[in-house]
Structure formats: C-alpha cells, structure tokens
Amino acid sequence: MSTYAEVAPHERRHLLPLLGGYLAMLLVVLVIALPLYWIVATSLKERPDIYTVPVTWVPNPVTLENYDGVRQGVPFLTFLRNSVLITGVLTIVQVVLGVLSAFALSFLRFPGRTLVLLLIIAALMVPNQITWISNYALVSQLGWRNSFIGIIVPLAGVAFGTFLLRNHFVSLPKEIVEAAEMDHAGPFTMLWRVVLPMSWPTVIAFTLITIVNEWNQYLWPLLIAEGSDTAPLPVGLTQLQDAEGFTNWGPVMAGTVLTMLPILIVFLLLQRHMIKGLTAGAVKG
C-alpha cells in the first residue's frame, strides 16, 4: 500500500478533497443513524435501564416488554389499519391524478395551459398550514370530521407530483412522441404505450415519496380524527406518550419502531427504482 509521501503531488490534490468527502459522508451517516439506533436500543431496554444516569448505549438485558406494552396500551392494529388505508388511498389518488395532469400539461394543447402550470408552481410555494383553517371549517360544515374522507380529501393535492412528472415528460425524446402522433395514437394510447414505459422509474420515485409523506402525516389527522376508528399511527402513538401523566419512553420508542418498519420495508423494496427515477436525466451518455 502506498504511503501519503509516495503519492505524486498532482494526485494529492485529488486525495485531500476525496478524504474530506468521505469524512463529511461519515458525519452525515452518524447524524442520521445515531437517533435511529437510540430509538431501537431504548425500545429494547427495561424501564429502570431507560432512566439510568449516565445513559447506557447497549440494552442489558434485552427485553421485548415495551412492545407488549404497546399492544396493551393502544389498539395498535386499528391504528395500523387506518394508516394503511389512508396512505394507500392517498397514494393511488395522487399518482393517478399526477400522471394524468402532467400528461395533459406536457402533450395536450388547450387554452390556459400556461396559466394552469403557473398556478401549480405557485401552489408549491404556499405552506399547507395556511389552508388548514379554511379546510377545517369546510370539512366541519360537510360533516366529515372524524371520518376517513375528511382526512383524505384535503390531502389529495398533487401540485408536487404534477410538477415533477411534467418536467420528466417534457424531457422524453420528441421523435418517439411525434412517431406515435403520426400513427394516430390517441391520448390514452400514447400515455399507456409510449410515455409510461419510459417513465416508470420517475413514477415509482414519486410513489415512494408520496407513501413516506402520507404515512408520516400527523397534524391534519390530529385535527380531524377524534377517536381510534380513524386515527393513523402517528396520532395514535400520542396516547402512549400521555399515559399516566408522563412520557413512558419505552413503549413510545417501541411504537415508533413498529411505525417505521412498514415504511422501511417499502423503501428497501423500491429504493433502486427511486434512485434511478430521481437521477434520470442527470447523467448523460
């Protein structure tokens, strides 16, 4: 192995930035991984071990009593069912509407198309929290409080998906699209047989982003859901936090781990497609 003194001077200029990059990457990994490790380790500790000073980093002994506490403390399976239902419906709606609206803005000619695109871009700049008061008043008037439809409908906007997919659609090779038009392909034929086969990585990336975002929704469901029948997991776990008048960190951490697991499995299954979709067009050649 060559030592630093044996490396040529022109190679040292590249070696130092490379080492700096690795150190920065290691620091970022530690910042991300350390809280995750602490959550998992705390969920496996006995109750006295959690509040020991100084803190212990390794559970000794390892116990699953906190996970049993989650099962006994809250209707976990009901909250899980609600999260799966809300996330599944919102993902399907947003992906379908995002694909259709992006296709229309990319390939169809209609009056006001540019204005619609500008309105979508403007919607991206407006924080969702600004609309919550008006949305809450409307949902209350419609009698949708404490219902799935009251949670899902206000969250079904697809401005980000439309913008992301539209930018990808307009980057597709024009020759292929023009060839489909010369063959008199209709809009749905062009979408299904020409555009989507070239766009699945980007569509899957948007799908995964949507799943993660909707799975972690907290404030809006907290406002609308009034009971266990409609509350998703992030809202339901607050019942563990308030039990007995103080934060019982063991079950809270165990519930957090159980909440992370489904979304982690989905991410591991789709991560390759997500990276490919997000980097599409970034590398030429």
More reliable by pLDDT, 38 or 176: 38
Half-sphere exposure of 132 (CA within 13 A, CB side): 12
**Whether the predicted pLDDT of 284 surpasses 50:** no
> What percentage of the chain has pLDDT greater than the value 90?
27
H, E, C per residue of 216-263: CCCHHHHHHCCCCCCCCHHHHCHHHHCHHHCCCHHHHHHHHHHHHHHH
Average confidence (pLDDT) over 124-141:
87
Residue 144 and residue 153 in contact, taking contact as beta carbons nearer than 8 Å: yes
Average confidence (pLDDT) over 29-51:
89
Q: Give the pLDDT confidence of 169-220 residue by residue, as tens digits.
A: 988 888 887 788 788 778 888 888 888 888 888 898 899 889 989 999 888 9
Nearest partner of 230 among 150, 110, 123, 127, judged by Cα:
150
Give the integer Cα–Cα distance in Å for 47 and 232.
Answer: 27
Nearest partner of 103 among 177, 179, 211, judged by Cα:
177
Average confidence (pLDDT) over 154-173:
88
**Whether the predicted pLDDT of 285 surpasses 50:** no
Q: How far does Cα 149 stand from its chain's mean position?
A: 21
The first and second tokens of residue 178, run together, are: 């023009």
pLDDT-derived band at 73 (thresholds 50, 70, 90) equals: confident
pLDDT-derived band at 97 (thresholds 50, 70, 90) equals: very high
pLDDT-derived band at 81 (thresholds 50, 70, 90) equals: very high
Nearest partner of 101 among 230, 11, 191, 219, judged by Cα:
191
| pTM (predicted TM-score) | 0.82
